[in-house]
Structure 1
Amino acid sequence: MPDQATVDNRNILQRYQDYRTRRFLKYEQNWATSLPRWRTRRRRRSLVLAVALSFLVMATTAVLCAVGFKTAALLWLPACALFFPAWIALQIASGRQGDAPEAALDEFEIAQRNSARSIGLTLTQYLMLIPIAYLLIGSIHGLGPGEDVAYAGALMVLTVLLIGGCSPAMILAWVRPDPVAED
């Protein structure tokens, strides 16, 4: 027989999952009619490309900072100016399927979401080796002043975490077919 703490933990987790599902369905209903023209596969793919382009600018900024261009950090601002609206529009247009709770999805959607999340985690783990190597080598061999190495490393880590965190939604937005038109 399970002890009381185990039962309470399951209840807490189940209550939290129920809350997440209710909140997700509420917001899904609120945003269901937003950006109707952006819900096609072609438009979602253009949003995915815009988010990917912002990641490219972020990564380039991190590399430029790593090689010593002090003013390169200003490139982070246009990257964010592109990322935030594109990411918000992508989340709305794709129905936030990348982070949807299990109870809000059918079996096929759960399988797709879990596969995309697995790819996102793998991508994060492999890409994270780049800033780790840079920080290790930079701190051992003194590639520049300590704050330059730390700043460039932080930009690299932030970029990799954003790529990994956003990739499930990007993958799902890219592969999902156009929604079926309702009469």
Structure 2
Amino acid sequence: MADIGLLERYQDFRTRRFLRHEEQYRHWLPRWRTQRRRRALVVVLTLILLSMVAVGVVCVNDMKTGPVLWIPVCVAFLVTWTVLQIVSGRQGDAPRDALDEWEVQQRDSARSIGLTVTQTLTFVPAMFLIVAGALDLDIDRSNLVYSAGLLVLTTLVIGACAPAMILAWTRPDPDTDTDDHQELA
């Protein structure tokens, strides 16, 4: 019984924090909140994530260039991901009590897809690491481990980003008339 109280208190805390942040960021980047611009951010984020995969592959053979490429790709990821989260209202990781029934259904569906993406994509670098570790390939072991680590990390990030990307892509434009009337009231 004590666990239920603790979980409920934590959910209440998450909901209050989410609503406080939503209020704080609600007016940031208003021109980027359209479906067209959110989709552009999703495309850019997809390209950045593919770049992260490419850097992981480069690191198999080139440990001088690969890690140097990782830094700007990560910076680009952090900026793009933050902007996407702001303009999409962080619906992908919103607590249940902060959403209506339709939003909960959409969020849960996107999360389910994100889990499937994570499991499927992470299988590839894991198998690469297993096969390359079992065979005596002409790959430096430290390069192999570093590269596989980057690839696993990237697949986990892709899976974690998938729900927000799906929701940002599929959600219609916000109804600006309703928002304006609520602010005037």
TM-score interval for Structure 1 and Structure 2 normalised by the shorter chain: over 0.9
Structure 2 match to 1:156: 151
Q: TM-score, normalised by structure 2?
A: 0.92
Give the distance between the partners of 2:67 and 2:12, measured in 1 at CA: 42
Q: Deviations over 1:49-77 (max 9, x none)?
A: 111111011000111212x1222222212
Structure 1's unaligned 5+ residue stretches are 1-6
The alignment-based identity, stated in percent, is: 51
Shift of 1:79: 1.1
Distance 1:87 1:61 in 2: 18
Residue 73 of structure 1 pairs with residue 67 of structure 2: yes
Residue of structure 1 aligned with 2:20, choices 14, 26, 31: 26
Residue 13 (structure 1) shift: 0.4
Measured after TM superposition, the shift of residue 145 of structure 1 is 2.2
Contact 1:117–1:168 (Cα < 8 Å) also in 2 = yes
Q: How does 1:80-159 map to 2 (within 5 A)?
A: 80-143=74-137, 144-159=139-154
Deviations 1:54-104 (A, max 9, x none): 1011000111212x1222222212211211111000000000000000000
Q: Say which of 4, 7, 10 aligns to 2:4.
A: 10
Distance 1:149 1:142 in 2: 12
Cα distance in 1 for residues equivalent to 2:75 and 2:40? 16
Contact 1:50 1:83 in 2 (8 A): no
Correspondent of 1:49 among 18, 43, 48: 43
| TM-score, length basis structure 1 | 0.93
1:5-61 per-position Cα deviation (integer Å, ceiling 9, x unaligned): xx1000000000000000000000000010100000011111111111110110001
Give the unaligned 5+ runs of structure 2: 181-185
Give the count of matched residue pairs: 176
Report the CA distance between 1:142 and its aligned residue. Answer: 3.1
Q: 2:163 aligns with which of 165, 168, 175?
A: 168
SS in 2 for 1:128: helix
8 Å CA contact 1:97–1:172 kept in 2: the answer is yes
Distance 1:146 1:125 in 2: 25
CA distance in 1, matches of 2:157, 2:44: 14
- Residue 127 of structure 1 deviates from its aligned partner by 0.4
| Distance (Å, rounded) in 2 between the aligned partners of 1:80 and 1:45 | 20
